[in-house]
Amino acid sequence: MSNPRHLELASRRQRNPSTRMPSHYSVKPEPLESLQSIEPVYGMKDKPVSSSPPSNSKVIARMADDQDREVFGVVMETVRSSGAILCPHDVPDADAFGAAYAVRAFFQTENIPTTIVAERIIPNSDLLLLALGISPVGWDSIRADDLRPIITLDTSSRNTFRKGAERKNRVILSIDHHYADQAKLEPVYRIINRQAGSTCGIVASLIPGELIDPLTALALAAGISCDTQRLLTADDETLRLFRRLRRISKVPRHRIDELAFPSLKRDVLATLIAELSSIRSVVYNERVIAVCMTAIKPPAIMVTLMREMDIDISAALSPLSHRRFQLSLRVNQKNAFEYGIKAHELARSISSRCGSLSKGEVGGHDDMAGGTLPGQYEDIVDHIIAAVREAVDKALAKP
């Protein structure tokens, strides 16, 4: 299907034949019109990690392919004169910030100015931001007449733009590894690999290895640690990449993990312990299902603590308003990967039961997911338990 903004960029490139590709890329892109048919760019399918080295031997990872790198190069040329806004998801974690930092650092080698914009930054991110030396700004700091193209990182959801919905129409590229929700962005380009363990792994596959300096390597390694639960869910390719990034960064493994999972402040930990007394739990087919309300934001902090308690399927709900809650959901490794109880599918089922599927405000991975849900707390808890029971029944019914 024709994309008007895509064609506009194509005509702009044709009017400026001197536009060049960065010398780091060995594959020269075709005219933009022909890129419309490239499935890895526009498709939302699962993309397996390549088993053979990319044709560009300078790249140190295989979570993006040559076509993705062509697209990344075209986007760079498009924003060369204007600069770009780099936008991770709300409440950014180490994977989102690490990917944003790495793209910014690479663009700086080409003298392309960027601004990192992030909303709802939590105190737990302070250590990572200090280590990387970055200070993201909120959308309120961006002028209304600032029309720079936007690159989203670790998200492909329209809900990223809760402030200034018109900005979603300026997204030129989304780099992501999530199962996107129903409210997907429609950027000019997508580089999405749902088989990648992290967005930082994808970004590391786009940037020439010789340009990954120690600080960029640290940012990417922290992001990988974050989204693979300290490498617990990492595949062989991700482990190999992490080891290489750690060597470049010259930072010990435990320090990288501390940036991805900083220690909780004592008052926050005390609040979480007190809130655990309100957990509602059931045992169903030898699986512990637990749901908890938390005032600590994001609820991922609480649900991570619940997962450490060896709960099979855990959910934490944080109130956003009287009848709206932020959901964070975790499924342990055995149930997610051996029995096929997928967190992102479970989140969709819960969303549907709450009557919010049409708004598409859920998404995630096989073992973790999240989103926003409408309704009363007790009703949502009932929906969560019912959805989990149904998912367990389906999993056990499989041959």
Residues 98 and 217: their CA atoms lie apart, in Å, by: 9
pLDDT in tens, 47-57: 444 434 444 45
Residue intervals of the chain classified under CATH 3.90.1640.10 are 4-260
pLDDT for res 30:
36
pLDDT for res 160:
76
pLDDT for res 355:
85
pLDDT in tens, 200-254: 999 999 999 999 999 999 999 999 999 998 998 899 999 999 999 999 999 999 9
Residue intervals of the chain classified under CATH 3.10.310.40 are 268-397
Residues 6+ apart with CB under 8 A from 175: 99, 103, 151, 152, 153, 154, 191, 192, 199, 202, 203, 206
pLDDT for res 183:
57
pLDDT for res 25:
42
Residues in the chain where the model's pLDDT stays below 50: 1-56, 358-359
Tokens of 250: 């010259």
Fold exhibited by the domain 268-397: Diaminopimelate Epimerase; Chain A, domain 1 (3.10.310)
pTM of the model: 0.79
* Residue in the block written with tokens 């760079």: 76
pLDDT in tens, 64-81: 999 999 999 999 999 999
CA 137 to chain centre: 19
CB atoms within 10 A of CB 206: 24
CATH for 4-260, options being 3.30.830.10, 3.90.1150.10, 3.90.1640.10, 3.30.2130.10: 3.90.1640.10
pLDDT for res 123:
76
The phi, psi pair for 152, rounded to 5°, reads -95, 145
pLDDT for res 156:
79
**Percent share of the chain, pLDDT over 70:** 82
